[in-house]
């Protein structure tokens, strides 16, 4: 599958976030709020799904798909909304948001309440891997969203989601392993994990966690005819990530550029104006 357009859009979105600028839009805007474990992202696209603007903030208010700090989650989304409105030059209201697949109704309600309390009207709720599949234009295969706290999986056939599941293994578990290996705090482990100069030595430490993620995916797709797996999410940025998955799955494993930004853009694309 050709991901040229998707990769171009994530790169453009990344540049917009860094520059705090906006693109010229055609038609109505669509907005998506991604309340992640490690980052909260708000993405804006136009009617043609071209990235228009975006904001991001590191946060520790969600764990394993569950909001654990409602007050700060709401505060951060509200602040990001204000920041985004300054970039756009006008107020925004409607947004889509996303949930990890398989979480209980009560947790879904809390996520929605955070977004509403921040001043948004929710137009649609979609599960995270499905949003990623929509952005990437995937018709068939499995999308694996490796987040900070969970690994979410959606299996698609003829553009329709036929199965979803979610397991509590993600970037946070990588950090815990690094913290244990170096006998340091979790906060310091997070810093080391993101240090590209230490990627090779870090990956040796966290490889068993990636193998666990791959085994979760293998179990999920075992009863389905899946020929390709697409990996997205902020925790899959390691260069050897796909290699480990391929060893376990023995099928094509594809990772787009800027995997952290795929799901937020897909959420925005799902928004109903």
Q: DSSP code of 120?
A: P
Q: Are residues 91 and 23 in the same domain?
A: yes
Three-state DSSP at 198 gives helix
Q: Is residue 202 within 8 Å of 178, Cβ to Cβ?
A: yes
| Full residue range of the structural domain in which residue 148 is found | 134-256
Q: What contacts 93, CB < 8 A, 6 or more positions away?
A: 119, 120, 121
Please report, for the domain that includes residue 114, its CATH number.
Answer: 3.30.420.40
- In whole angstroms, give the CA distance from residue 53 to residue 50: 9
- In whole angstroms, give the CA distance from residue 72 to residue 182: 30
Task: Write down the pLDDT at residue 245.
Answer: 97
CB burial of 147-156 (b: ≥16 within 10 Å; e: otherwise) equals bbbbbbbbbb
Task: Write down the pLDDT at residue 232.
Answer: 94
Residue 86 burial class via C-beta count within 10 angstroms: exposed 0-12, middle 13-18, buried 19 and up: exposed
Q: Are residues 121 and 161 in the same domain?
A: no
Q: Are residues 87 and 41 in the same domain?
A: yes
Task: Write down the pLDDT at residue 181.
Answer: 96
Q: What is the pLDDT along the chain (273 residues), one digit of tens a residue?
A: 679 999 999 999 999 999 999 999 999 999 999 998 889 999 999 999 999 999 999 998 988 778 999 999 999 999 999 999 999 999 999 999 998 887 777 888 999 999 999 999 999 999 888 899 999 999 999 999 998 888 989 999 998 889 988 888 899 999 999 999 999 999 999 999 989 999 999 999 999 999 999 999 999 999 899 999 999 998 899 999 999 999 999 999 999 999 999 999 999 999 986
How many domains would you assign to the chain?
A: 2
Residue 178 burial class via C-beta count within 10 angstroms: exposed 0-12, middle 13-18, buried 19 and up: buried
Residue 247 tokens read as 């060893």
Q: Are residues 8 and 109 in the same domain?
A: yes
């Amino acid at each position: 599958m050709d991901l040229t357009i998707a990769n171009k859009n994530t790169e453009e979105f990344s540049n917009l976030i860094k520059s705090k600028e906006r693109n010229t839009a055609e038609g109505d805007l669509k907005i998506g709020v991604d309340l992640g474990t490690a980052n909260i992202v708000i993405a804006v696209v136009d009617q043609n799904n071209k990235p228009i603007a975006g904001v991001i903030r590191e946060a520790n208010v969600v764990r394993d798909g569950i909001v654990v700090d409602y007050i700060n989650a709401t505060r951060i989304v509200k602040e990001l909304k204000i920041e985004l409105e300054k970039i756009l030059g006008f107020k925004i209201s409607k947004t889509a948001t996303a949930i990890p697949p398989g979480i209980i109704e009560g947790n879904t309600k809390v996520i929605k309440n955070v977004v509403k309390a921040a001043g948004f009207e929710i137009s649609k709720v979609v599960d995270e891997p499905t949003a990623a599949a929509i952005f990437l234009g995937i018709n068939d295969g499995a999308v694996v969203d490796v987040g900070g706290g969970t690994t979410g999986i959606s299996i698609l056939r003829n553009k329709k989601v036929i199965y979803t599941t979610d397991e509590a293994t993600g970037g946070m578990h990588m950090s815990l392993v690094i913290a244990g290996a170096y006998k340091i705090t979790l906060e310091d482990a997070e810093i080391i994990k993101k240090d590209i100069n230490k990627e090779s030595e870090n990956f040796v430490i966290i490889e068993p966690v990636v193998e666990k993620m791959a085994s979760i995916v293998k179990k999920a797709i075992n009863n389905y005819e899946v020929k390709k797996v697409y990996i997205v999410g902020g925790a899959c940025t390691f260069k050897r990530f796909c290699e480990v998955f391929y060893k376990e799955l023995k099928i094509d494993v594809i990772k787009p550029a800027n995997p952290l930004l795929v799901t937020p853009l897909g959420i925005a694309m799902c928004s109903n104006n």
